Amino acid sequence: MLPILLIAACGEKNTEPAPPPVGWHAEEGWSAPCYFPPDFDKLESAEGVSARRLARQAALEGMKSQWLGERDDGVSFSPGTVEDIETVLLGRPEQIEVVSRKNLEMCKPAMTGGSDDSWNDWLRGLPGALTEGECMLPFTYTMFDYLDIGAGWHMSLPVCAGDLVVIKATSGDKYRVSESGDWINAEGVPGTSGVASGLPCDLELCGEGMLVGRFTSDDGHEDMFPIGTGTTYKPTANGTISVTINDTTYYDNAWYKSGGITDRTGVTFSPGQ
């Protein structure tokens, strides 16, 4: 009888790497787990948009619990900072994905014996980094206040690039900018100019005592402009508009009084069409 040769069939060894962890996970030698976000693109492809949204929510809640010191892992950051970050991310949920990946990078060194100072610094600057270049308060409302002829720039109004701002001052209210000067309204002293005068607005059309405006962009650029009893201004960047009367000394300014009634110039800011 011929010998029977038995050949054992051996299965091939599984060499595929294990899938990356999702959720709380600690590697060997770590003092505590870090939050591992999923691959959000793959998750949406496999399970749909709703799964991606739920994963964002889970990631934010997970990171918050650690930032606030709720995991007893020695990590704890300012509640105010955490609140600011949450506010920004709730309005920009897509940014949760980017933040969760970066947060994992910042967490790993802290769990392997390193300091969390860099992590803290990153979190503190995160709200500003996420909103950089954005305008938080478009000008869609009307603001009214009284002009202060005894002060410099005031009535700060936040505006966004492209806002159309209509500024009007009451024309019947009078004041003077020197003890012996004429009574004027927001149009200023007739025939005067701000050119080479040292006045806050040194433009040709910015007369002495006139109501003038200053736009200061978020990056510090300033633009002066005349207002008088009315003008329209359109900023080219995000920033703030403030006003003053075109004067160098304020101590000798006075409102006109008649019959026990003192004039006061009202200034209205409203959105243009």
Percent of the chain with pLDDT strictly greater than 90: 82
- Residues 87, 205, single domain; the answer is no
Residue 98 pLDDT? 96
Residue 12 pLDDT? 55
- Contact status, residue 147 vs residue 250, Cβ threshold 8 Å: no
Dihedral over alpha carbons 197, 184, 228, 143 (to 10 degrees): 120
pLDDT (tens digit per residue) in 195-215: 977 899 999 999 999 999 999
- Residues 126, 149, single domain; the answer is no
In the DSSP assignment, the letter for residue 184 is: B
- Contact status, residue 227 vs residue 197, Cβ threshold 8 Å: no
Residue 1 pLDDT? 45
Extract the residue ranges of the chain whose pLDDT is less than 70.
1-15, 136
Residue 201 pLDDT? 96
Compute the distance between CA of residue 87 and CA of residue 130 in angstroms, rounded to an integer. 11
Number of domains the chain is built from: 2
- Residues 27, 76, single domain; the answer is yes
Instruction: Please indicate, yes or no, if residue 175 is contained in any of the structural domains.
Output: yes
3-state helix, strand, coil in the chain (%, to 5): 25, 20, 50
Whether the model clears a pTM of 0.85, i.e. scores above it, the answer is no
Compute the distance between CA of residue 203 and CA of residue 39 in angstroms, rounded to an integer. 58
- Residues 148, 242, single domain; the answer is yes
**Can you give the residue range of the structural domain that contains 187?**
143-271
In Å, what is the CA distance from 131 to each residue of 61, 135, 140, 154, 273?
21, 8, 20, 26, 27
- Residues 122, 186, single domain; the answer is no
- Residues 147, 266, single domain; the answer is yes
- Residues 127, 234, single domain; the answer is no
- Residues 30, 74, single domain; the answer is yes
Could you tell me the two tokens for 188? 């200023």
